[in-house]
């Protein structure tokens, strides 16, 4: 089978196409023929070794997310069958084999049924973005732990960077759960994408009066901020957060260091919650899988330009270009056609 591997950390040039034997599933494992592999920022960061340890001891296949068809199962697996359409998550976390290959063997935990109405493109776009977004929306002190229709009724959610993959998923999940969804963007193009994703209100944070515009929409303040750039947006969040509001930080765009005024956040009992999918508690991940599956079945999750998340496609042999596109800040979702 064809696979992309890297044997040393570095830039996209360390990725190369090779031939490998088709792996056999072990106890409790599933083999999936990968149709589409999704690329996330943590994929290129893992390739460079940034925050993910030293150079690999052996060849590694990149990419956490993907979608395909079950090709073989071990006798212990009861809930999945050969021929079943599935989506994959956390494929390469503390493992050598990600989804940038024609076949991947994974523990049954990492393989989730994909409804017939959902495309492989959508399936490969779920993992990191959707589970991260779910966690961001469910860490407030008063919950909810699960996202279902009505779970966020009466709450205002502010999604920073609504044109990104996590922002896109957060908009869709928050709207499905009944929140008033506000998003901040930096351009008219991104505003159109965020609106297509389902945001009720779009505010350009670079324009004067952004905080006033958000406060006009949510007079009592924003209950949850899904935050991609905490350093840049700290002052804005200070002005718009509700009492007992939560800032869910899932990225460090704009800088690694952040300065916060203590008294304004203390006075309002604000919670800052930092989130990295891979170390999120297992129970929270399982709740996310349940809720994302329900949202999929309801048709609440979508991809494509018309849904606010343009797709950028690359063949398997051009995986290095796909990684470079994500590292360069491509707007939308970068996918690799494997099958």
Mean pLDDT of the 255-259 span:
90
> Residue 46: in which H helix or E strand, if any?
helix 41-48
Q: What are the distances in angstroms from CA 80 to CA 36, 69, 105, 171, 318? A: 19, 10, 13, 30, 31
- Which residue carries 């899988």 as its tokens? 289
Query: Would you state the pLDDT for residue 56?
Result: 59
The SS3 of residue 229 is coil
Residues 6+ apart with CB under 8 A from 7: 14, 56, 58, 59, 60
Query: Would you state the pLDDT for residue 57?
Result: 63
Query: Would you state the pLDDT for residue 54?
Result: 47
The SS3 of residue 158 is strand
Instruction: Read off the pLDDT of residues 200-249 as tens digits, 9 standing for 90 and up.
Output: 999 999 888 999 999 999 999 999 999 999 999 999 999 999 999 999 99
Neighbours of 334 (CB within 10 A): 27
Residues 6+ apart with CB under 8 A from 94: none
Query: Would you state the pLDDT for residue 10?
Result: 94
Instruction: Read off the pLDDT of residues 20-60 as tens digits, 9 standing for 90 and up.
Output: 999 999 999 999 999 999 999 999 999 998 765 445 568 99
97: which DSSP letter? B
Query: Would you state the pLDDT for residue 264?
Result: 92
Domain extent listing, the chain = 2-125+309-337, 129-278
In percent, the amount of the chain with pLDDT more than 90 equals: 93
Instruction: Read off the pLDDT of residues 303-314 as tens digits, 9 standing for 90 and up.
Output: 999 999 999 999
CA atoms within 13 A on the CB side of 294: 13
CATH number belonging to domain 129-278: 3.40.50.720
Query: Would you state the pLDDT for residue 266?
Result: 95
Q: Which two tokens stand for residue 42?
A: 């943590």
**144 pLDDT higher than 80:** yes
Q: What average pLDDT is seen over the chain? A: 95
- Which residue carries 């297992």 as its tokens? 282
Mean pLDDT of the 254-277 span:
93
The C-alpha atoms of residue 309 and residue 251 are separated, in whole angstroms, by: 19
Burial of 72 (0-12, 13-18, 19+ CB in 10 A): middle
> Residue 37: in which H helix or E strand, if any?
strand 29-39
Q: Would you mind telling me the total number of residues written for the chain in this entry?
A: 339
* Radius of gyration over every alpha carbon of the chain, rounded to an integer in angstroms: 20
Query: Would you state the pLDDT for residue 50?
Result: 78
Instruction: Read off the pLDDT of residues 67-91 as tens digits, 9 standing for 90 and up.
Output: 999 999 999 999 999 999 999 999 9
Torsion of CA 315, 321, 49, 35, to 10 degrees: -20
Residues 6+ apart with CB under 8 A from 81: 70, 73
Mean pLDDT of the 147-169 span:
96
The C-alpha atoms of residue 289 and residue 134 are separated, in whole angstroms, by: 9
Q: What are the distances in angstroms from CA 153 to CA 156, 173, 206? A: 9, 12, 29
Mean pLDDT of the 119-141 span:
98
Query: Would you state the pLDDT for residue 13?
Result: 97
Superfamily of domain 2-125+309-337: Medium-chain alcohol dehydrogenases, catalytic domain (3.90.180.10)
């Amino acid at each position: 089978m064809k696979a992309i591997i890297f044997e040393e950390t570095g830039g996209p040039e360390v990725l190369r196409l090779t031939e490998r034997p088709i792996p056999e599933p072990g106890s409790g494992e599933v083999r999936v023929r990968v149709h589409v592999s999704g690329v996330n920022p943590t994929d290129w960061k893992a390739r460079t070794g940034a925050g993910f340890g030293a150079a690999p001891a052996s060849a590694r296949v990149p990419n956490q997310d993907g979608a395909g068809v079950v090709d073989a199962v071990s006798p212990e697996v009861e809930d999945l069958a050969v021929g079943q359409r599935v989506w994959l998550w956390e494929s390469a976390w503390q493992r050598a084999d990600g989804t940038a290959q024609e076949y991947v063997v994974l523990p049954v935990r990492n393989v989730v049924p994909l409804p017939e109405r959902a495309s492989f493109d959508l399936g490969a776009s779920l993992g990191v973005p959707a589970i991260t977004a779910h966690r961001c929306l469910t860490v407030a002190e008063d919950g909810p732990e699960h996202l279902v229709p009505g779970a966020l009724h009466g709450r205002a959610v502010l999604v920073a960077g609504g044109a990104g993959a996590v922002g896109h998923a957060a908009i869709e999940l928050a709207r499905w759960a009944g929140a008033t969804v506000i998003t901040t963007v930096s351009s008219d193009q991104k505003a159109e994408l965020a609106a297509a994703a389902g945001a009720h209100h779009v505010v350009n944070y670079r324009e004067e009066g952004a905080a006033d515009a958000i406060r006009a929409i949510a007079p009592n303040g924003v209950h949850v901020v899904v935050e991609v750039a905490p350093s840049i947006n700290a002052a804005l969040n200070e002005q718009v957060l509700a009492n007992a509001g939560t800032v869910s930080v899932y990225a460090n765009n704009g800088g690694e260091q952040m300065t916060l005024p203590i008294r304004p956040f203390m006075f309002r009992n604000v919670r800052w919650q930092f989130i990295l999918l891979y170390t999120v508690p297992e129970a929270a991940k399982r709740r996310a899988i349940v809720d994302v599956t329900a949202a999929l079945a309801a048709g609440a999750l979508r991809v494509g330009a018309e849904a606010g998340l343009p797709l950028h496609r690359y063949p398997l042999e051009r995986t290095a270009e796909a990684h470079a596109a994500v590292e360069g800040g491509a707007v939308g979702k970068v996918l690799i056609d494997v099958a």
